[in-house]
């Protein structure tokens, strides 16, 4: 097999691009599956990309531009077979919040800042990918993400109400938005509200009522789903035709207007370091949120087909996608939940489906844009509202309340701060709260006194199990790594125990839950040992983990330890207080 080994060795030297894995086995069956999926996703993506561009405060065609190049780049670099990249609701909201401070909505500068934001986000994602920093996203806990997405959904829905009502109202938080909307109530444009309201009602019905109806009428479930998912397209087609036929624009209904026909333009970010600095934090938050959303969708779908995605490679893929968005007139993009699920359900087999979708969107930008002239903006607002309200999951509050008050607090703070102060403050405070609560918990460790479970070699909490103990020996199990924030808790506990029970001769720490001992905790252990020595007691350790023991080996604490280090707690007890073993047998 010598000769065969050489080329495979060479291949290993090639960059391991995911496209090389699936590209080699691409056949006609896969092609057909991918084409069908691409067609369905394209139909879904056209209204979404227009709507999310408007949500971000950008001209609608920018949404189309952001749905071409990023899909191609993701197909080359991405590890998910079915992730559909493009503009998504939450990232568009964050984009609007970030740019709002630097430019006036509708200005050319606003668009240029959006392009710069996509550029910075792309660079950051690429750097994080190359440095393999994907794990940093783990610090956004599930509860924080969940609270953030729900609050963002509510914010987006509120921000779209103005378009639905035909008034002007700005604000990047719920309170400002609500105030602006209420002050505008007398100026509601009746026709706009009727069109927008009907579209919303129709879309909700499509989502909740149409699919079950179609299934009852005999359609198979998957087809019913696809028909239901095309509801937005129907709403757009119908209201656009009506707006054209009934001359609604003349009656004050806002329409999308002329959308430039053509391929995405070549663009460049603004090379202004001061602007980059002030966009750095929003760009980082957009990158992390986009990455987390993308990876969680990707992992969920990959697991269903026993595939895996590679988070660090996903960072590279999303980074390349965003860079390409910046170079082709787009704005920040990421993997979208709804459209990836549609892509998966429609049978997409490989990222080539994304390439075909990009072709579909290009055709739409070339040919379809004149048809969008009479598309009412209220209809787009309706599609956004219905899409984002499905993101709102307030049940998480109840679930976390039952399971873990700390997680509940994290959700609640994220939710409220996002609503009250906007997306950036919300995310940052969510992370801060969850880290603080984690630190708080680890700073007050659970310390159990343990005894031998009868008939076993296993030790458990004396308060919970019927165990054997001895008056001359106390076995303690600290349920936390020992570090600066909790080092003193153990000192206090041992001091108290020794003061309470004059018969004690040995203190044995079962270290099975101690995963690390830092320098502060080492000093604490030294002073515990010193005090026990002065009182003529001995301190022993058992079940010290390998990595912890490696470090302790060279310390004075280990050299001067009054007692011994035992492999298992059972061995320690056998040697120091064999009467416990007897009690556990007879008991």
Closest to a copy of itself by CB, 272 or 550: 550
Q: Does 448 bind a copy of itself (CB under 8 A)?
A: yes
Identify which of 150, 164, 170 has the alpha carbon closest to the alpha carbon of residue 235.
164
Near a copy of itself by CB under 8 A, which window of 95-103, 137-145, 191-199, 232-240?
A: 137-145
Min separation Cβ 407 and a copy of itself, Å: 4
Angle at 65 between CA 59 and CA 70, to 5 degrees: 135
Minimum CB separation of residue 419 from a copy of itself in Å reads: 21
466 binds a copy of itself (CB under 8 A): no
Of 214-222, 248-256, 386-394, 526-534, the window that binds a copy of itself (rule: CB under 8 A) is 526-534
Shortest distance in whole angstroms from residue 546 CB to a copy of itself: 5
Longest dimension (CA), the chain: 98
Q: What are the residues whose beta carbons fall under 8 Å from the beta carbon of 35, sequence distance 6 or more?
A: 353, 356
Q: How far apart are CA 218 and CA 208, in angstroms?
A: 17
Measured CA to CA, the distance from residue 34 to residue 312 in angstroms comes to 25
Task: Figure out which of the listed residues 222, 398, 446, 501 binds a copy of itself, where binding follows CB under 8 A.
Answer: 446
* Pick from 397, 362, 124: nearest CA to 261: 362
Using the contact rule CB under 8 A, the part of the chain among 48-56, 189-197, 543-551, 579-587 near a copy of itself is: 543-551
> Is 531 near a copy of itself (CB under 8 A)?
yes
Asked if 224 is part of the footprint of a copy of itself (rule: CB under 8 A), the reply reads: no
- Asked if residue 426 binds a copy of itself (CB under 8 A), the reply is no
In whole angstroms, what is the distance from residue 138 CA to residue 97 CA? 24
* Residue 141 near a copy of itself by CB under 8 A: yes
Q: Does 399 bind a copy of itself (CB under 8 A)?
A: yes
Does 106 help bind a copy of itself (rule: CB under 8 A)? Answer: no
Burial status of residue 78 (CB atoms within 10 A of its CB: 0-12, 13-18, 19 or more): buried
Determine which residue in the list 33, 230, 278, 404 makes contact with a copy of itself, applying CB under 8 A.
Answer: 404
Is residue 138 a contact residue for a copy of itself (CB under 8 A)? yes
- Which one of the spans 243-251, 269-277, 363-371, 562-570 is the region binding a copy of itself (CB under 8 A)? 562-570
For residue 439, state whether it binds a copy of itself (rule: CB under 8 A). Answer: yes
Tokens standing for 321?
């996608």
Please state at what angle helix 142-165 crosses helix 28-55, rounded to 10 degrees. Answer: 60
* Distance from C-alpha of 345 to C-alpha of 339, rounded to nearest angstrom: 10
Among 483, 537, 563, 577, binds a copy of itself (CB under 8 A): 483
Report the DSSP beta bridge partners of residue 105. none
Q: Which of 37, 522, 532, 580 binds a copy of itself (CB under 8 A)?
A: 522
What is the C-alpha to C-alpha distance for residues 116 and 76, in angstroms, rounded to an integer?
A: 23
For residues 484 and 524, give the distance between their C-alpha atoms in angstroms, rounded to a whole number: 9
- Is 414 within 8 Å of 433 (Cβ atoms)? yes
What number of residues does the chain have?
587
Residue carrying the six token digits 């009250």? 420
Q: Give the shortest CB-368-to-a copy of itself separation in angstroms.
A: 40
| 131 is a contact residue toward a copy of itself (CB under 8 A) | no
DSSP calls for 379-390: HHHHHHHHHHHT
Q: Which of 428, 551, 562, 583 binds a copy of itself (CB under 8 A)?
A: 551
Show contacts with a copy of itself in window 292-331 (CB under 8 A): 303, 306, 308
From candidates 461, 472, 526, 565, binder to a copy of itself by CB under 8 A: 461
Q: Which of the 8 DSSP states describes residue 172? A: S
Query: Binding residue for a copy of itself (CB under 8 A) from 444, 501, 582, 585?
Result: 444
By CB under 8 A, residue 434 contacts a copy of itself: yes
Tell me the DSSP string of 360-418: HHHHIIIIIGGGGTT-BHHHHHHHHHHHHHTT--THHHHHHHHH-HHHHHHHHHHHHHH
DSSP bridge pairs for 255: 376
- Pattern of binders to a copy of itself over 247-266, x per CB under 8 A? --------------------
Q: What backbone torsions phi and psi does residue 503 show, to the nearest 5 degrees?
A: -75, -15
Kindly tell me which of 157 and 522 has the beta carbon lying closer to a copy of itself. 522
Using rule CB under 8 A, residue 407 touches a copy of itself: yes
Task: Identify which of 147, 123, 47 has the alpha carbon closest to the alpha carbon of residue 87.
Answer: 47
List beta partners, residue 565.
541
Instruction: State which of residues 132, 168, 222, 545 lies at the interface with a copy of itself (CB under 8 A).
Output: 545
Q: Is 445 in the site for a copy of itself (CB under 8 A)?
A: yes
Site residues for a copy of itself, 486-505, by CB under 8 A, read: 486-489, 495, 499
Smaller CB separation from a copy of itself, 366 or 567? 567
Work out which of 96, 427, 570, 573 binds a copy of itself, going by CB under 8 A: 570
């Amino acid at each position: 097999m010598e000769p065969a080994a050489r080329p495979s060795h060479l291949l290993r030297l090639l960059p391991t691009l995911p496209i090389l894995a699936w590209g080699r086995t691409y056949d006609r069956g896969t092609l057909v599956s991918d084409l069908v999926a691409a067609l369905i996703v394209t139909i879904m993506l056209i209204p979404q990309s227009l709507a999310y561009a408007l949500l971000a405060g950008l001209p609608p065609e920018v949404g189309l531009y952001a749905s071409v190049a990023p899909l191609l780049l993701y197909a080359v670099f991405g590890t998910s077979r079915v992730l559909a990249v493009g503009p998504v609701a939450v990232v568009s909201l964050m984009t609007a919040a970030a740019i709002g401070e630097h430019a006036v909505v509708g200005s050319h500068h606003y668009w240029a800042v959006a392009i710069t934001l996509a550029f910075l986000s792309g660079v950051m994602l690429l750097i994080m990918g190359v440095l393999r920093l994907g794990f940093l996203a783990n610090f956004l806990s599930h509860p924080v993400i969940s609270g953030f997405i729900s609050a963002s959904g509510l914010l987006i829905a509120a921000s779209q109400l103005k378009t639905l009502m035909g008034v002007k109202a700005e604000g990047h938080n719920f309170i400002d938005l609500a105030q602006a909307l209420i002050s505008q109530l007398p100026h509601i444009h009746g026709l706009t509200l009727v069109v927008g309201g009907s579209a919303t009602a129709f879309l909700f019905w499509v989502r909740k009522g149409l699919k079950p109806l179609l299934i009852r009428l005999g359609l198979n479930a998957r087809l019913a789903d696809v028909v239901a998912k095309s509801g937005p397209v129907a709403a757009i087609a119908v209201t656009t035709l009506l707006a054209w036929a009934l001359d609604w624009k003349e009656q004050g209904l806002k329409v999308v207007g002329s959308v430039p026909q053509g391929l995405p333009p070549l663009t460049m970010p603004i090379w202004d370091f001061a602007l980059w600095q002030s966009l750095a934090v929003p760009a980082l938050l957009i990158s992390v949120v986009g990455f987390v959303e993308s990876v969680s969708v990707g992992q969920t779908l990959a697991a269903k087909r026993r595939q895996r995605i590679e988070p660090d490679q996903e960072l590279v893929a999303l980074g390349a996608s965003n860079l390409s968005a910046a170079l082709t007139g787009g704005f920040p993009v990421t993997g979208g939940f709804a459209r990836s699920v549609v892509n998966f359900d429609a049978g997409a087999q490989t990222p080539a489906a994304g390439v075909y979708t990009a072709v579909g969107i290009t055709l739409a930008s070339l040919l379809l844009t004149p048809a969008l002239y009479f598309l009412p903006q209220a209809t787009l607002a309706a599609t956004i509202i219905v899409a984002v309200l499905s993101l709102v999951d307030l049940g998480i509050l109840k679930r976390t309340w039952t399971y873990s008050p700390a997680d509940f607090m994290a959700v609640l703070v994220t939710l409220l701060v996002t609503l009250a102060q906007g997306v950036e403050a919300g995310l940052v405070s969510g992370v801060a709260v969850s880290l603080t609560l984690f630190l708080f918990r680890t700073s007050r460790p659970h310390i159990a006194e343990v005894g031998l479970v009868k008939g076993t070699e296993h030790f458990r909490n004396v308060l919970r199990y019927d165990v054997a103990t001895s008056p001359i020996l106390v076995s303690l199990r600290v349920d936390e790594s020992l570090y600066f924030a909790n080092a003193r808790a153990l000192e206090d506990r041992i001091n108290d125990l020794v003061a309470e029970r004059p018969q004690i001769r040995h203190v044995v720490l079962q270290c099975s839950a101690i995963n690390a001992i830092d320098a502060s905790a080492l000093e604490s252990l030294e002073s515990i040992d010193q005090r026990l020595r002065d009182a003529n007691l001995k301190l022993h350790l058992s079940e010290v983990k390998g990595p912890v023991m490696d470090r302790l080996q060279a310390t004075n604490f280990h050299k001067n330890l009054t007692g011994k280090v035992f492999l298992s707690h059972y061995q320690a007890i056998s040697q120091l207080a064999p009467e416990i073993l007897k009690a556990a047998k007879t008991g």
